[in-house]
Structure 1
Amino acid sequence: MINYYLLLTKPGIIFGNLVTVMAGFLLASKGQFQFGLFLSTILGLAFIMASGCVFNNYIDLEKDRLMKRTQNRPLVIGVIFEKQAIVFGLALAIVGAIILYFYTNFLTLVIAELGFIIYVFFYSIWKSRTVYGTAIGSLAGAVPPLVGYCAVSNQLDLGAFILFAMMVFWQMPHFFSIAIYRLQDYSAANIPVLPLKKGIQIAKIRILLYIISFTLTSSLLTFFHFTGSLYLILTIGLGLTWLLMGLRGLKTSNDQQWAQQMFRFSLVIISVLSLTIPFDLVN
């Protein structure tokens, strides 16, 4: 039963986001690592993100019954009841908020809670109603590195805004790639993602524009002397690789295979850059 509750929190999503939390935290630390603060930030945000994922499962229950990739989720198969999920989600949210309030700072808690509100009350509800659900979700997804950064800095400065913009621009091609790859699932659940409403070719063009925006924005960390030349080289190299992959998609005969490759590479690029930041800081 514990495994089912764990699945309800979407641990893969939490782990992926914690990598960007670490990047934001270490960028603001500038080599002055505070282990206790780092642990508190990671734990507090992990609980809040887990809570958001639990409520997302609850809100998406009827849609999940219609999609092949979500038909084995705990709420769908009935191993966890809806009331149990709500109590579990509330408990996670409370624990996370307590940790961030007492062991980080108030700004960090506010940002984390704003991300939770956007994800649960706006993205989870609106994604089945509007094609702009992806854009709303990208705001929530850009919060984790901001939380890591502000846990150290206790302020919203240029570095925080660059990190936030980076993540917003990264998530759009990431999500659009998933939407193309899982197009049949989204169609079955009647979720109005961009490839369904505007067409796959329009989505591909948007992907290219967002990749360019992501690469340029990511480079700003070096131009404003937060990171060094290694980070810049990797940003440009990986960004151009991602862009070339996207351009090939304009003529591909297998949209699903191409979209899957784009999705996987999006995970590679954000992981590599997040892990590079701590090793190429400018003091």
Structure 2
Amino acid sequence: MTIATAPARARSSPLQYAKDVLLLAKPRLSGLVILTSTGGLALAPGDIGAARAILTVLATAAVVGAANALNCWMERDIDARMRRTRDRPLPAGRIDPFTALGLGIMVPVFALPVLALVANPLTAALAFVAIVTYVVIYTPMKQRSTLALLVGAVPGAIPPLMGWTAVTGTLDSGGLALFALLFAWQLPHFLAVSLYLREDYARGGLRVFSIVHGERATRGWIAATSVVLVPVSLALVPLHVAGRMYGAVAGLLGLALAAYALAGIGREGGRWARNFFLATILYLTLLFVALFLGAR
């Protein structure tokens, strides 16, 4: 009997079941979405009011959580083969697969109209694009091509653009600059993940960059994409999305991350890659703090 057909195991308690349902949404990833979409709302010129802003962020998080639930449903057999993911609710048998499928379908049915009403149809359309790109294209593509890295960065970069368009109602240079920043950030971030979890991804049968192209090439691409991230992050200043204080912080953070990435060329083993992965999270957190504090 495979994970795809195995019945859910007896649940220990309603609280544990509720926790497992929440885990389908990948809370840490959803938390990043809340941070970046809130950043887009706060940085956009104009104001939609606190109530509409909160509903927009919550609906965005709901859509992302639903996409993650569908991802969990589609990859439950792969997750069962990987040490990092085998204790997730579906491969561990704590939740029936059809529960994840139902939530993944039904939540957007309600969340997308909410986004169209409290924000605007453009923001809802961007959310729909994010779901389709992540679930229909990126998730199955991971088993076939390393180009999934680029495709997967698209839905990950859409939330701040959604926050921006919720206020402005248009796709303009400021919102697209935020999209570019998140897109560029994800490349070294996930390349590092593919490196330090290389063996686990191999067990899952995923064709990530480090498996297909090797460790040396992956470290080189981590360095190259980290260097590219510096001018992309600084582009927010001439576009008047952020001010000089942000520019100074972004420059220092970007140079530090790029220097760390360049120092990883020629090394071996996964410890540096894991440390670099954690450094990218710290980088993005501090960058958005600077954005909030030094907007225009």
TM-score of the two chains, using structure 2 as the length reference: 0.92
Structure 2 counterpart of 1:7, from 3, 6, 23: 23
Contact kept in structure 1, 2:210 and 2:218, CA below 8 Å: yes
Aligned residues: 280
Aligned Cα root-mean-square deviation (Å)? 1.2
TM-superposed deviation, 1:195: 0.8
Contact kept in structure 1, 2:82 and 2:204, CA below 8 Å: yes
Which residue is equivalent to 1:187? 202
TM-score of the two chains, using structure 1 as the length reference: 0.96
Contact kept in structure 2, 1:46 and 1:96, CA below 8 Å: no
CA displacement 1:22-80 (0-9 Å, x = unmatched): 111111046x4721121011111111001000000011111111100000011101111
TM-superposed deviation, 1:217: 0.9
Greater shift after overlay, 145-154 or 215-224?
A: 215-224
Which residue is equivalent to 1:196? 211
Matched, 1:118 2:118: no
Q: Aligned letter for 1:175?
A: F
CA displacement 1:101-128 (0-9 Å, x = unmatched): 2111000000011011100101111111
CA displacement 1:137-182 (0-9 Å, x = unmatched): 0011001101111000100000011111111110010000001010
Structure 1 counterpart of 2:72, from 44, 52, 57: 57
Unaligned runs of 5+ residues in structure 1 are none
Matched, 1:243 2:243: no
Q: Aligned letter for 2:38?
A: M
Matched, 1:77 2:92: yes
Following the alignment from structure 1 to structure 2, what is the Cα–Cα distance between the partners of residues 256 and 210? Answer: 19
Following the alignment from structure 1 to structure 2, what is the Cα–Cα distance between the partners of residues 104 and 49? Answer: 16
Following the alignment from structure 1 to structure 2, what is the Cα–Cα distance between the partners of residues 204 and 10? Answer: 27
- More helix per residue: 1 or 2? 1
Shift of the 84–226 alpha-carbon distance from structure 1 to 2, 3 Å rule, reads: closer
Which residue is equivalent to 1:21? 37
Unaligned runs of 5+ residues in structure 2 are 1-16
| Highest RCO, 1 vs 2 (Cα 8 Å, sep ≥ 6) | 1
Greater shift after overlay, 4-13 or 86-95?
A: 86-95
Following the alignment from structure 1 to structure 2, what is the Cα–Cα distance between the partners of residues 59 and 220? Answer: 37
TM-superposed deviation, 1:208: 1.4
Which residue is equivalent to 1:97? 112
CA displacement 1:199-242 (0-9 Å, x = unmatched): 11111111112112211011011122221111111111111111
Q: Which runs of 4+ in 1 moved over 3 A?
A: none
